[in-house]
Amino acid sequence: MNQTNLQHKSLLCLLILITLAFLWILLPFYGAVFWAVILGIVFAPLQRRLALKFGRRRNLASISTLLICLVIAILPVIVVSALLVQEGAALYANVESGKLDIAGYIAQFKHALPPYFQHLLDRMGMGNLEGLRDKIAKGAMQGSQYFASQAFSFGQGTFDFIISFGIMLYLLFFFLRDGPELVRKIRTAVPLAEHQKRRLQLKFNRVVRATVKGNLVMAVTQGALGGFIFWVLDIPSALLWAVVMAFLSLLPAVGAGVVWAPVAAYFLLSGETWQGVVLTAYGICVIGLVDNVLRPILVGKDTRMPDYLVLLSTVGGLAVFGLNGFVIGPLIAALFMSAWGIFTSEKKQVRLPQDRAPSDQ
């Protein structure tokens, strides 16, 4: 008995050490592995439908799904990212050269405010326009250097990017083809009851699809709508602001209004009334309604978390994991809630003995 127990503990220690070593090897390409898993989950229903259409030929169905994923999900992100770096660098270059005088716009905005709000800005230390102009120039210089370094580092890291991209596509093909078998092996290895494993797997799949398919589609839609109206109103760097609005729309209680609302207020206070009215009406009636219309359809009520938890997990995920954190953060939060839900539902309630009623005398 002792010998068997020692062998079991030794095997468990060996398993933990080898697993940690394997994860350490995969760490340089964790982003490629992570997105291969995420895209595999998102596009798994399409792969199953194509497999039925192609007569259970899994290789053909997986290659077709991979090509569709490449066209509609991966290539647009690469193109937009490249354009964003160029437009961001051009914006900061215009600010640095003085072609785009943000401090002048702020001064014009301040002078258009009522006297009470001007005094309020002065008390808050925002009335020194010369100092503000220096800060903006300094920030523009730092931003220009940042975008220049990003473009340079992108050129230097092209080889690493190609390797990571190739690994992601390679893994995605096998995850699409052999996904159900891999899931069965993982479920067999997890030391939990079958209904607990099924509940965690369903929660994992739902949150991934809701976050990627739902929230991402919503973010792209709101960003595209915001960028379109900025382009119509001839606001500089419309693509850059569209991407900013798309990211902010992922955060509840923040949203794309943080970008378009101040611009609309500037138009109204600076005398460009029709632009301000159009942007305000468009932001409220078009951009603002996307969240109320699309979110219940794409995300669903059963996968939603409290808004404060979505906000904290998204911001925390972005701070810890970078761009991947907008999926990792809510995913960890959802699994946290699901695991504690399983624990509390399985935990036996201890009943305290009821006090005996005093006997009648």
CA-based nearest residue to 209, from 303, 96, 289, 124: 303
Across residues 109-129, what is the average pLDDT? 62
Above pLDDT 90, what percent of the chain?
1
Choice between 336 and 140, residue whose per-residue pLDDT is larger: 336
Neighbouring residues of 289: CB distance < 8 A, sequence distance ≥ 6: none
| Total number of domains in the chain | 2
pLDDT at 252: 66
Note whether 134 and 222 are same-domain residues: no
Neighbouring residues of 241: CB distance < 8 A, sequence distance ≥ 6: 226, 227, 230, 235, 259
H or E segment and range at residue 303? none
Average pLDDT, the chain: 75
For residue 177, how many other CB atoms are within 10 A of its CB? Answer: 21
User: What 3-state DSSP class applies to 101?
Assistant: coil
Is 315 inside any structural domain?
yes
pTM assigned to the model: 0.69
**Cβ atoms of 42 and 209 closer than 8 Å:** yes
First to last CA, the chain: 61
**Which of 127, 155, 189 delimits the end of a domain?**
189
Note whether 63 and 206 are same-domain residues: no
pLDDT band at 264 (very low <50, low <70, confident <90, very high): confident
Query: How far apart, in whole angstroms, are the C-alpha atoms of residue 337 and residue 320?
Result: 20
Q: pLDDT tens digits for 218-256? A: 888 888 888 899 888 888 778 888 888 888 877 766 678
Is 133 inside any structural domain?
yes
User: What 3-state DSSP class applies to 125?
Assistant: coil
Across residues 119-141, what is the average pLDDT? 59
Note whether 225 and 308 are same-domain residues: yes
The DSSP secondary-structure symbol of 56 reads S
191 has a pLDDT exceeding 60: yes
Note whether 59 and 185 are same-domain residues: yes
Note whether 181 and 215 are same-domain residues: no
Note whether 91 and 206 are same-domain residues: no
Note whether 196 and 154 are same-domain residues: no
Q: Which domain holds residue 122?
A: 28-189
350 has a pLDDT exceeding 50: no
Encoding tokens for residue 262? 């101040």
Note whether 310 and 329 are same-domain residues: yes
Return contacts of 325-331, CB within 8 angstroms, 24+ apart: 326/211, 326/215, 326/247, 326/250, 327/34, 327/38, 327/208, 327/211, 327/212, 328/34, 330/207, 330/211, 330/305, 331/204, 331/207, 331/208, 331/211
**Cβ atoms of 230 and 349 closer than 8 Å:** no
Tell me, what amino acid is at 246? A
Note whether 33 and 167 are same-domain residues: yes
Is 14 inside any structural domain?
no
Is 220 inside any structural domain?
yes
Q: pLDDT tens digits for 47-70? A: 888 888 887 788 888 899 999 988
Note whether 315 and 196 are same-domain residues: yes
Across residues 299-305, what is the average pLDDT? 58
Q: What is the dihedral of CA 350, 355, 356, 361, to 10 degrees?
A: 180
How many residues are given for the chain?
Answer: 361
Q: Which residue bears the tokens 């300094």?
A: 138
Is 9 inside any structural domain?
no
Residue 265 CA, distance from chain mean position = 28
Q: pLDDT tens digits for 272-286? A: 788 888 888 888 888
Note whether 46 and 111 are same-domain residues: yes
Is 10 inside any structural domain?
no
pLDDT at 359: 47
pLDDT at 306: 73
